[in-house]
Amino acid sequence: MGAYAWPVTFLAAQSPAIDPRAPVMALLERFGPQAGAGEGGAISEDAAVAYCRGLAGSHYENFSVVSRLVPEDWRDDYAVVYAFCRWSDDLGDETGNDAAARARSLELLAWWRGELDRCFASGGVEATHPVFIALGRTIRARSERGEHALTAAPFHNLVSAFEMDQRVTAYRTWDQVLGYCRLSADPVGRIVLALGGYADTPENAERYRLSDRTCTALQLINFWQDVRRDLLERDRVYIPSEETGLTPEMLRAWMDRPNDPRARVPYIRALRPLVERTAAMFEEGRPLPGLLDPRLGRIVRLFGMGGEAILSAVERVGCATLWERPRLSKWRKVALVGRAAAGW
């Protein structure tokens, strides 16, 4: 997946009770559906939030450089949402690739969805999992401050996307890919807007529309960047076959033929229009930071700038991503953070 990138700094916490470097799957015995009541140990809210901070700091992929763009009073909330996404993603992806593994993922995601419902219903006071203990604190704190409440819907949509990954491994049409993005990417932007004080109301409809365009573009460029990795590691293909003429079988046959024009030319010709459509989405979403409070606008600007930088990297390798994965250097990431902070 990869659409839930958080360009933020998470400050080191004091000795979290749970090792944030431990794989999610290794923590299931302690915190998963088979753990008995209280078997996870008494986890305080502070320890739960510290775990979420540590998880975000130790696993953050797309912008690993330090970013001070997120105001200090928002950082814990962002870390908690990142932790929710990280757990959701790993429950969907880390059980394996065969039919039994996918069935196991669906079982775990159903349990995770139930924990989410319980968290929102009780404000987290009944939660036993550290992510939901921490999320409950965020939910209650916003209510106590009289701020717009977080809603469960975007969190549920994210879970639905991970469930969809277990059932669908290839897409035929562009509209089907966009439908997946509405579940896997757009909810992240909607949560960010809610955390920034923008409720999903008619007066914010344009902000939410532009956010959806940006988030969908971020998800799409992640797909075009990771075609090879998704195919090898997840047995998934997001390139729409009917619109490009590329099937999963063709891509598998071509992966070891980087210098064969019979593979390279049709692949590039098929991917380039998808990259161009993605670029148009980024362009459409560019006004969004200017419609937001400057503190939130800087964060959202970095989202978009990071995605457009990856898009440029895809173009620099000639859209030949089946054989070469474009990436951003550490210094390019640092420069992007600086530009976003300056409002460029």
Q: Could you count the other beta carbons within 10 Å of the beta carbon of residue 247?
A: 15
The region, left, alpha or beta by phi > 0 then psi within -120 to 50, assigned to residue 146 is left
List, by residue range, all CATH 1.10.600.10 domains of the chain. Answer: 169-344
Q: Which CATH class is domain 169-344?
A: mainly alpha
Q: Could you count the other beta carbons within 10 Å of the beta carbon of residue 201?
A: 10
Q: For the whole prediction, is pTM greater than 0.75?
A: yes
pLDDT score, position 146: 67
pLDDT score, position 41: 53
CB 281 within 8 A of CB 294: no
Closest CA to 59 of 102, 21, 7, 4: 21
List Cα–Cα distances, 90 to 157, 173, 239, in angstroms: 16, 27, 23
List Cα–Cα distances, 63 to 225, 256, 309, 312, 329, in angstroms: 15, 30, 12, 16, 10
pLDDT < 70 regions, the chain: 1-16, 36-42, 59-68, 146, 148, 331, 333-334, 336-338, 340-344
pLDDT score, position 283: 97
